[in-house]
Amino acid sequence: MTESNLALPTVPPPLERTYAPEWVESTAQQNDLERMGVRPSLREYIPELWKRRTFIRVLAVSKAQAKNQNTYLGQVWALLTPVLNAAVYTIIFGFILKVGRAGIDNTIAFIVVGVFMFRFFEMSLQAGSKAIRSNMNLVRSVHFPRAVLPIAGVAAELTTLVPALVVMCVIAYLSGLLPNEGDVPLEPRWLLLIPAVLLLWCFCTGCAFIMARLVAQTPDVDNLIPFGTRILMYVSGVIFSIDHFLGKFSWGWIMEYQPVAVFLEIARSAILAEPSAPLDPMKWVVGVGWAIVFLVGGFLYFWQGEETYGRN
């Protein structure tokens, strides 16, 4: 057998298939096909998001129920954690260091309301940061508006907050019966806690949108969130009166009107009879403004990165 007969056959070059753009467009329209990995317009995106409202509710409830399911106390920890945090801060800053008593009539109620409301904000940020990264398999396998995930994450925290608010109000009221603590009268203005929580919920949802995109594109940001929330806790008046300590400075109003401090104050003004947290209509107007700015701005910022989620 000659050497030429032993030569391996050559592989023919691959066939090049090209389709006219007009044909591709017409075929896609006839079969209701959509391009994948393309950011839809807001006119399409918002209705698609609204269609998933039932899925958002179910996902939020399932996330809330899944928390602490492997512990003996289960969902009781959703109430115990903020109570224990408030107790620690009250004892250390209120009674030992006496920082939380300066300019405050009822230290216990003041710190309890601040800790409960700030914890909702803190947990919402964490839920937003994990919205995309923790659901990557779902993002890569199912086509749906990605905004569903941060919305459901914050809604899960709201589901957990509702029973915690009852405990918060009970503690605040009972603290007013103690000696050396200011009275916390049960008044109709307590109903203002409902719009205060709704405004905070809108604000937290906007923050969750921002965190979801930042962490999805730069995972290192997730490691910085605990440091940022800790700084916010100390500059937002969670455990002390901003007006008492910073009101004398020319820049004190910046700390007083930053969003987290505003939402803490309007929540306190709804329950407490505190001179440091009066029922100020201007603070409510500012709170509405912050809620709208962060909700709309955060949503648009998240939507602009819609086509990038799941590709990294």
- Rounded distance, CA 201 to CA 175, Å? 26
Q: Give me the pLDDT at residue 117, please.
A: 95
Average pLDDT over residues 279-300: 96
Average pLDDT over residues 71-88: 80
Structure tokens at 166: 């009852």
pLDDT band at 35 (very low <50, low <70, confident <90, very high): low
Flag whether pLDDT at 304 surpasses 90: yes
First to last CA, the chain: 55
Average pLDDT over residues 20-38: 70
Percent of the chain's residues with pLDDT above 70 = 90
Average pLDDT over residues 41-58: 93
- Rounded distance, CA 165 to CA 41, Å? 38
Of the two residues 114 and 20, the one the predictor is more confident about is 114
Model pTM score:
0.84
Q: Give me the pLDDT at residue 113, please.
A: 93
Q: Give me the pLDDT at residue 29, please.
A: 75
Rounded alpha-carbon distances, angstroms, from residue 255 to 94, 107, 240, 249, 295: 21, 20, 12, 10, 21
pLDDT tens-place string over residues 255-284:
889 999 999 999 999 998 888 788 889 999
Flag whether pLDDT at 143 surpasses 90: no
Of 5-9, 146-150, 251-255, give the lowest mean pLDDT range: 5-9
Flag whether pLDDT at 225 surpasses 70: yes
Flag whether pLDDT at 3 surpasses 60: no
Flag whether pLDDT at 72 surpasses 90: no
- Rounded distance, CA 35 to CA 1, Å? 56
Q: Give me the pLDDT at residue 267, please.
A: 95
Q: Please name which of 111, 302, 139, 77 lies closest in space to residue 206, comparing C-alpha atoms.
A: 302
- Rounded distance, CA 258 to CA 263, Å? 9
pLDDT band at 37 (very low <50, low <70, confident <90, very high): low
Of the two residues 65 and 257, the one the predictor is more confident about is 257
Q: Please name which of 114, 123, 121, 125 lies closest in space to residue 67, comparing C-alpha atoms.
A: 123
Q: Give me the pLDDT at residue 312, please.
A: 63
Highest mean pLDDT, choosing among 6-20, 66-80, 81-95, 289-303:
289-303
Average pLDDT over residues 152-179: 91
Q: Give me the pLDDT at residue 60, please.
A: 92
Of 16-25, 119-128, 172-181, 234-243, give the lowest mean pLDDT range: 16-25
Structure tokens at 175: 């603290």
Q: Give me the pLDDT at residue 121, please.
A: 96
